[in-house]
Amino acid sequence: MKVRLRRPALPEQALLDEQDLSLIDLIQVGLPLTATPYADLGKLLDIDEREVISRLQRLSNDKVIKRLGVVVRHHELGYRANAMTVWNIPNDSVSKLGFCMGQFEFVTLCYQRPRRLPDWPYNLFTMIHGRDRESVLANIQIIIEACDLINIDHDILFSTRRFKQRGAIYRKDNATKTVS
């Protein structure tokens, strides 16, 4: 089953220079919890605090950084249930329904992904959290009604076991180089 598909290039991809990439290397594992985190990052990169801040501001404005802040761990905070809920949506409605689903506070991811026929007919993926299974199912019903998905085929994949969960490391080799 060779089912690879190259992802299309993002036309709006922001241009990142080497300093941006080095800064990303450092902050992907988190800001240092010190009084002056931006100055401390700047020392490692040989740039001053103001430049660190202005680069982070620009990366946020360009949406390379979706958000900057506290990243919580749902499970540890009592949100024990999560279901990857997948939908088989006609291609011409994906964007409209995707934006409708993506607006709910209990939806933490809403991505279009390719179908893999015949094994996998679903093209929209939402991650839905709740304190328990019942509240996750109730949240799914809310979405179905609000976005008018009654006739859309879906499947609910509850997680039964977490083998690993941590932040992504995008540029491992460079990160190691920069820090050392």
> 20 with 55: CB under 8 angstroms?
yes
Residue 160 binds other proteins, judged by CB under 8 A: yes
The minimum distance between CB 45 and other proteins, in angstroms, equals 15
Would you state the structure tokens that stand for residue 75, as one six-digit string? 């499970």
CB of 15 to other proteins, least distance (A): 11
Q: Determine contact, residues 139/130, Cβ cutoff 8 Å.
A: yes
Q: Is 18 in the site for other proteins (CB under 8 A)?
A: no
Min. distance of Cβ 115 from other proteins in angstroms? 9
Residues 44-73 that bind other proteins (CB under 8 A): 49, 53, 56-57, 59-60, 63-73
Q: What is the C-alpha to C-alpha distance for residues 34 and 94, in angstroms, rounded to an integer?
A: 44
What Rg do the C-alpha atoms of the chain give, in angstroms? 20
Q: Is 36 in the site for other proteins (CB under 8 A)?
A: yes
> Least distance in Å: CB of 84 to other proteins?
6
Is 24 or 140 the residue whose CB approaches other proteins more closely?
Answer: 24
- 125 sits in which H/E element: strand 124-130
